[in-house]
Structure 1
Amino acid sequence: MNARVLITAGASGVGHAMAQAFATAGARVWVADLDQVALDRCPSDWGRSCLDVTDETALRAMFARIDAEWGGLDTLCCNAGIAGPTARVEDVDLADWRTCIAVNLDGAFLCAKHAAPLMKRQGAGAILITSSTAGQYGYPNRAPYAAAKWGVIGLAKTLAMELGPHGIRCNVICPGAVEGPRMEGVLAREAVAKGMTRDQVYQGYASGTSMGRFIEAQDVAAMAVFLASDAARLVSGQVIAVDGHTVNPDPKL
């Protein structure tokens, strides 16, 4: 794969797994992240930008720099996101709602907005947006997150229609529960909200899938590499879950 790939939130977690998978496949990789320390740990041959995806001025400068150094962009992975609050809807603070929507939805929109001209100029490109199974089924006590993750699906399907005539594809990956520090935080908060133990919440997620397990970041990364590749050249406007097959999105124990 001789591609130029930008991954937001690419210095850790799922984004870092994507970056590693693309690099292994032979792509040139650029990662954007808020965490400068994590960026400093990334391989020296990766492009790196420390920024907030809701800051359009910073994004504009990054895309200009990518264009100057690479002469274009082949794949954009809009992966930046936050979990948002875990609370009943009547207890969600408006400021927390707006922050969650801004990072998860506005961030994807802004990245696509600034990537589109580069991809249009070359007549080809792939945009991948990380949503969640919460964007397919809803998610009790996580109204801001679920709303944002449904929103990016609407964005992606619209982008696929709008940009398709320019040779640009857009697809959505919906991870299920991913093993790692971020999910551990979600488990801890939900345990408190539901009056359960961490292990009970974990088992609830796992038992809600037909395969009875969490997924690994590498599973999401492998799907991203496939969707960006020529093997998926006519795959666009699709929403693909990598979740061990969710059969009950809100299992009760």
Structure 2
Amino acid sequence: MSRFTDQTVLVTGGSGGQGASHVRAFHAEGANVVIAGIDVERGLALAQELGERARFVRLDVTDQAAWQAAVADAQDAFGGLNVLVNNAGVQNPPAPIEDTEKARWDNILEVNLTGTFLGIQSATPALRRAGGGSIVNIASTMGLGGTAFYAPYVASKWAVRGLTQTAALELGRDRIRVNTIHPGVIATPFITEPAAGAAAPIADFYSPDPFAIPRLGEPADVTRLLLFLASADASFITGSEYVIDGGLLLGPALQPA
């Protein structure tokens, strides 16, 4: 079943670990895919791999003009835009608040929060012209509770929650649904490799052994949920948050002695 035949989907951070998984799955379900990101080499390679119905656009999500150009490119190439996935994000190296440089704070908020804001703002007219559609913002379980040493990232993902719910209220009457996915520890370079300036990856701090489902998540786990939320199967869902973390936030799954 091809849920996205004749639809156009734009995915930011589209050549990364989760992003590439999302792009491939949308394409397999019949969508025209716009792979948006700053890694030109990987983005072009993915577009070439997929072939027909796929194209790469260079997009710095903090650049409003670049956003407008990316949306225009999607419309020019494929005739419209139906789904936006705000997937691009960056993390900070772990540091206490008192040692976090303002420049680091500004960069994380600019990419993770302002980038999402600009995506919603830029895509809305195109989605409205298409008769409605779906926006899915990829947040994090760190946006649902405090996490020591990751203040910029945590703050950015908490704010994405409020932005998502506000956009859902504003756009619902235009048949544009806006939802959030909060992945836990997913086995991608974002988690398994150190952030710039960090000595160790986030995965080093999160052993899956105590999780109710004792493994790291895979990009495909997130992708399957994303496809549902972006599709007509979720036509009555907006402003909602979906956690996909193997039970991380539930606390340890204690075993009898």
- Fold conserved between structures, TM > 0.5: yes
Q: Does residue 38 of structure 1 match 2:42? A: yes
Residue 230 of structure 1: CA displacement? 1.1
Q: Counterpart in 2 of 1:230? A: 232
Q: 1:142 to 1:74 in 2, by over 3 A?
A: same
User: What's the CA shift for 1:184?
Assistant: 1.6
Pairing 1:98–2:106 present: yes
Q: CA deviation at 1:231?
A: 0.8
* Preserved CA contact (<8 Å) 1:208 1:247: no
Conservation of the 8 A alpha-carbon contact between 1:78 and 1:130: yes
Cα drift, residue 190 of structure 1: 7.1
CA distance in 2, matches of 1:192, 1:176: 14
2:246 counterpart residue number: 244
Cα distance in 2, alignment partners of residues 40 and 249 from structure 1: 41
The DSSP-based 3-state class of the residue aligned with 2:20 is helix
Residue segments in structure 2 that go unaligned for 5+ positions in a row: 253-257
Deviation at 1:210, TM superposition (A): 1.6
Q: Aligned to 1:212, which of 207, 211, 214?
A: 214
Would you say 1:152 and 2:184 are equivalent positions? no
Aligned with 1:107 (options 103, 112, 115): 115
Match of 2:30 in 1: 26
Change (3 A) 1:241 1:192: closer
- Return closer, same or farther for 1:208/1:89 CA change in 2, 3 Å cut-off: farther
Quote the residue 1:49 is aligned against: 57
- SS of 2:144's partner is helix
Cα deviation, 1:172-206, whole Å, max 9, x if unaligned, reads 0100001122212249947599xxxx75x342xx1
Runs of 4+ more than 6 Å apart: none
Cα offsets for 1:37-84 (capped at 9, x unmatched): 111211333121112110111111111122222222110000000012
Q: How far 1:245 moved relative to its partner?
A: 1.7
What amino acid does structure 2 have at the position aligned with 1:20? R
Is 1:140 paired with 2:136?
no
* Residues 50, 233 of structure 1: alpha-carbon distance in 2 compared, 3 angstrom cutoff: same
What is the deviation of 1:136? 0.8
1:176 is aligned, of 184, 194, 219, to 184
Contact 1:208 1:248 in 2 (8 A): no
Code of the aligned partner of 1:163: L
Task: Deviation per CA, 1:218-241: give whole Å up to 9, x if none.
Answer: 111111111111111111111001
* Whole-angstrom distance in 1 between the partners of 2:70 and 2:192: 32
* CA deviation after TM superposition for structure 1 residue 207, in Å: 3.7
Q: Which moved more, 1:17-26 or 1:41-50?
A: 41-50
1:78 is matched with which residue? 86
SS at match of 1:72: coil
Cα separation, 2, equivalents of 1:185 and 1:88 = 20
- In structure 2, how many angstroms separate the alpha carbons of the residues matched to 1:208 and 1:160? 35
More helix by share: 1
Q: TM-score, normalised by structure 1?
A: 0.90
Classify 1:59/1:214 alpha carbon distance in 2 versus 1 (closer, same or farther; 3 Å): same
Seen in structure 2, the aligned counterparts of structure 1 residues 173 and 18 have a Cα distance that, compared at 3 Å, is same
Pairing 1:158-169 to 2, within 5 Å after superposition: 158-169=166-177
Does the CA-based 8 Å contact 2:12-2:88 persist in structure 1? Answer: yes
- Give how far 1:249 is off: 6.8
Shift of the 189–98 alpha-carbon distance from structure 1 to 2, 3 Å rule, reads same
Give the unaligned 5+ runs of structure 1: none
Instruction: State the distance in 2 between where 1:25 and 1:110 align.
Output: 27
What is the TM-score of this pair, normalised by structure 2? Answer: 0.89
Report how many aligned residue pairs link the two structures: 244
Give the superposed CA RMSD. Answer: 2.2
Q: Could you say what secondary structure the match of 1:171 adopts?
A: strand
Partner of 1:83, secondary structure, is coil
